[in-house]
Structure 1
């Protein structure tokens, strides 16, 4: 609004330059919505069989939505033997036009993420029940050489097609509502947050690592953030502060030095020529 007023003033000749030009606006922070563990379990249980592994993998890996939908079976994706997921492309879902495979958000987004055994088992069952089918799709992972190729996407819709934006929103809404019903039936006060999305499971992954005392660098690498400051700025309130271990850390180092350097005999101070005697 202020910038519009300034530009009007310039056009009217009131002022010569716009003082707002060159001013960098602060970044708008997205609110962290991390559902509780019980809510995540309800979301997994409420998910249709075709998408159950997707929900579990999202909470177990911290992958972005496009990264999840861009996973392929047998080429780019899950390494079942080494229990990790290779993230090297994403499914882009523009508001208009067909989906396509594209490069990741940042160079640091290309990463390997270790997986819990439960996530590997869930995806293995998914592949057995819903074998990936060949899908013709545009591959823009190399922007200089886009091609049309056959992909075997791990997660597709009921007709074996790449998941669309509208399909994702509709399915997630049903999962969230059914999960809340399960929680109510269980008699617990835990609920799925109203604004919880599939991306919120990424926040759940991050905050779980933090609560288990993983350091900033580890969390940054797992999430694929471009630098640790982004991770710290977003999740700083989740690092545990209830127990101060700083004094114990110093004592563990300097306390040992005191005993090692304890004099056992007279020590002559070379500079002053005085004697330092051990305490009586």
Structure 2
């Protein structure tokens, strides 16, 4: 067909000597006043004409993007390095990097970012869900893709986010482990023999996350008024230097809900005072080798206890108490369950746990609510009944 390359402000299609068709759209002029074109090559004239017409419509609407050969994998690398790494916490960066490397790149990495389709991402999420991957991880895959593509729109690589129309996987209820009252008593009886008994007492008596416990300092505790202020937490991040692959760091909560005040019982106050004395004796015994950072839960030398070591101790104590194996988080679940069973309002439980919304609390502890409802019914039993017939006579 006839070449129409030199018509500023319009689009044209022409055939090359090798038989391929080139569609081009005039998109303005450069600094030297020379016309600039956006071009794409197609096997058929029909495809070229279709792209040209669509490009002209988008150009007039102000949503046209210049064609690029950048793949989704290449864009993910750019996004991670330039937009994510300098602006987020180390743990968040690791999460994004892990998701892109293990889940997004293997299946969709070779697809050009401008050719990526909703159906491709939806298919990937469906496959991941069907393979047994946790709902939370599948949601993170979608969130990562959506966030990366949102930035691609700002960088004018694409004009729409195909992840916006992907359907989230249906969450499947995850069973939680909760100690019975007898198991609580047996566990704490056995835990008293361990040097770090106070750690387990605090987890069971406050519902704190393990990371929050390990970052807790004496300055966060008011023993006179009986409360603990949660202001920080520990996370495990990759160690770029040194022999260990990972190390623990202290950071502030991700959201404002993480900051909270937790009342504690008189018994827990007494236990903390007892631990304070024992810790002082250890500090005097170690002398200059003791690292006093004001932490509550420490090694004998005052250093921060690792989550892994605390979990190992926990599992040994479970075996000794003949309690089925579970994780440290079950102590937090047990705390919340006991509160709800005692009739504490879910909103109060939400605030004590630091949940982002009451919906999270209700969904997590839905197993308790039927019993709570039954207790409520028992309390109003008889209130709606009429007075005894004998009292009504005469």
* TM-score w.r.t. length of structure 2: 0.50
1:166 and 2:308 equivalent?
Answer: yes
The answer for the alignment partner of 2:318 in structure 1 is 176
The answer for the alignment partner of 1:145 in structure 2 is none
The answer for the alignment partner of 2:130 in structure 1 is none
Distance 2:179 2:214 in 1: 21
1:45: Cα distance to partner? 2.0
1:6: Cα distance to partner? 8.1
- Residues 1-280 of structure 1 aligned to structure 2 (within 5 Å): 7=108, 17-19=117-119, 20=122, 22=163, 23=166, 24-27=168-171, 29-47=173-191, 48-73=193-218, 75=219, 77-94=220-237, 96-131=245-280, 151-180=293-322, 192-195=323-326, 197-239=327-369, 240-243=372-375, 245=377, 248=380
List per-residue Cα deviations over 1:124-150 (Å, max 9, x = no partner).
11111123859xxxxxxxxxxxxxx97
Larger CA Rg, structure 1 vs 2: 2
1:4: Cα distance to partner? 9.5
Distance 1:63 1:217 in 2: 17
1:29: Cα distance to partner? 5.0
Unaligned 5+ segments in structure 2 are 1-103, 123-161, 239-244, 285-290, 387-394
Distance 2:361 2:189 in 1: 30
1:99: Cα distance to partner? 2.0
Distance 1:25 1:9 in 2: 24
Distance 1:16 1:93 in 2: 34
Going from structure 1 to structure 2, the CA distance change for 1:159 and 1:220 (only over 3 Å counts) comes to same
Unaligned 5+ segments in structure 1 are 135-148, 181-191, 256-280
Distance 1:57 1:166 in 2: 17
The total of aligned residue pairs comes to 221
List per-residue Cα deviations over 1:139-168 (Å, max 9, x = no partner).
xxxxxxxxxx97211101233221123312
CA contact (8 A) 1:91 1:100 kept: yes
1:70: Cα distance to partner? 0.8
* TM-score w.r.t. length of structure 1: 0.68
Distance 1:221 1:206 in 2: 11
Q: Whose helix proportion is higher, 1 or 2?
A: 2
1:114: Cα distance to partner? 0.5
